[in-house]
Structure 1
């Protein structure tokens, strides 16, 4: 079994409207929500063995904050340029390259791609929007990440900061 955690970056700052989108940092709420959501995963017994993230500043920072809560070495976070503002199909390209030794993997990315990909993965649930720091979890009945797309999948949960 392979478990995939799709995580949207935390809330970013728009204080400087002239700043390049790629370089936008997290705002105060984003910095608070990231550790909270990481701990929600811990309470579910789900800590990723591998973290892959878009290299955009807000996404990298979200991944680092959550990694700290999971005691995951920040330097081991894989930055995947293709994940920056990607289409849903790009996620599959990234997933097929994952080493099969990893059972639970977290991918940090952006909308609209992350919402589109979550909806592609299951017919059990439809999501209008994965909000910032939202987590969509799914399990695939396969031992190989390269077979993830065609494997039978089971929706596990969808959680986000304002989901009490």
Structure 2
């Protein structure tokens, strides 16, 4: 049994895959993945399944491109995944992401599927500017999945970047 002081929340930060431009009259919220984005989402889900990645819960933006990025995880990782859709991940600031992390610190693992610039800002604040710049010198790419370990009992403690998964479309 782990001591509560050493308990870690494994956090998976997934930026939605590449999306197409909004069609005339289409809201940004309704933009779908483009062909490359669908391939990226499938590849990333397969990479996650191959590595045994299975978050206890997925919290996903309600925007179409985020839902389409998360959907392949059901087919490749598990159809029993606990997924929750949250509107605020689309329109809210980075603080919404932090609030969701804090609300889920009782879990062993959590995946957030969201948008830039919030996902990138979140990673910078969790692991520090230097580590984030070193890991992602060109910014947080579409369909990028950062795996971060956070001390579950200390919300102010820095996290550690464990791994970074990027699809190869």
Fold conserved between structures, TM > 0.5: yes
Measured after TM superposition, the shift of residue 114 of structure 1 is 0.6
TM-score, normalising length from structure 1?
Answer: 0.85
Counterpart in the other structure of 2:142? 132
Q: Counterpart in 1 of 2:4?
A: none
Residue matched to 2:61: 54
**Structure 1 residues not aligned, in runs of 5+:** none
Structure 2 equivalent of residue 141 of structure 1: 151
Cα RMSD after superposing both structures: 2.0
* 2:114 matches 1:104: no
SS of the equivalent of 2:162 reads: strand
Instruction: Give the TM-score, by structure 2 length.
Output: 0.83
- Larger mean CA deviation between 80-89 and 31-40 belongs to 80-89
**Structure 2 equivalent of residue 5 of structure 1:** 12
User: 1:119 and 2:129 equivalent?
Assistant: no
Q: 2:12 is paired with a residue of what secondary structure? A: strand
Aligned counterpart for 2:26 among listed residues 3, 19, 23: 19
Greater Rg, structure 1 or structure 2?
2
Q: Which runs of 5+ in 2 are unaligned?
A: 1-7
Aligned positions, number: 157
- The whole-number CA distance in structure 2 between the counterparts of 1:80 and 1:42 is 24
Q: Distance in 2 between matches of 1:99 and 1:122?
A: 17
- Shift in Å at residue 83 of structure 1? 0.6
Aligned residue for 2:122, secondary structure, equals helix
> Does residue 1:79 correspond to 2:82, yes or no?
no
Q: Secondary structure at the match of 1:105?
A: strand
Q: Is the 8 A contact 2:127 2:158 kept in 1?
A: no
Partner Cα distance (1:162, 1:12) in 2:
16
Kindly report structure 1 stretches of 4+ aligned residues shifted beyond 4 Å.
none
1:55/1:80 contact within 8 Å kept: yes
